[in-house]
Amino acid sequence: MTQDHPIQRFASLGVALVGVLVALSALPGLWIGLFGHEAWGTGTIPLFAGFEALTIVSGAAAVLIGLKPRKEGFGLAVLCVAGAVFVAAVLGSMMLKNASDTVPSLKNYVLIRLAMAAGLVAMCGIVKLGTRSDSWVRLFIGGALILPALIILSLIARNKGGLVSGMFSGFGPIASMVLWTLFSVVLGVISIAGVHVLIRAFELTREPKSEQPESE
């Protein structure tokens, strides 16, 4: 069994806590999927109920993973749970939205589940990186490198892609095309470098810390 630092143990408990929240958040949806919602004019929605049941199971799995002694597959297990929570939210929202025209916007429903999945990933990162300062430095550098791409993707997801497409609107067609090509290439290279740095941050956790020479 791996001897964990108190920070890592606290983060493991955080995984369990988020798992409880995930499971509880799916209970109303499971009820709606099984028995319908009179105000929305929906009846039984088996697929939506199934995705909410999957979310409950995923939350329970996060609780077990967080409370049990940490083993080698901890990171992969938490990432699988986080992915299941997010995918179930996206597909479940589609099933519920298609059930009736009176179903309100489910944007917040998906965002809350996304935040929970992100919380699981964050806690997993804390557990994996622990007190490795070299890994944390690379994590922040990698995050900074991919941040521009994430901002652009978030604008597009929020239907604000016009802010991105209008960056070079003041130039002529040819100049605009050249600038967009250069921008895309630079953004792609920076993002790939950022992902590589992030991966390296976690790879370092499998390597022994380099010993600092003692000062005389």
Distance CA 123, CA 22 (A): 14
Q: Flag the least confident range among 28-32, 53-57, 63-67, 69-73.
A: 69-73
Question: Is the pLDDT score of 2 beyond 60?
Answer: no
CA atoms lying within 13 Å on the CB side of residue 127? 30
Distance CA 193, CA 144 (A): 11
- Mean pLDDT, the chain, rounded, equals 84
For Cα atoms 46, 50, 54, give the angle at the middle one, nearest 5 degrees. 175
Only one residue has tokens 């810390």, namely 209
Domain end, chosen from 68, 103, 131, is at 131
Supply the range of the domain harboring residue 194: 132-216
Shared domain check, 101 and 26: yes
The more confidently predicted of residues 157 and 192 is 192
Shared domain check, 105 and 139: no
Question: Is the pLDDT score of 1 beyond 50?
Answer: no
Domain end, chosen from 131, 165, 186, is at 131
Compute the residue count for the chain. 216
On the 0-12 / 13-18 / 19+ scale of CB atoms within 10 A, 95 is middle
Q: Against a cut of 0.85, is the pTM above it?
A: no
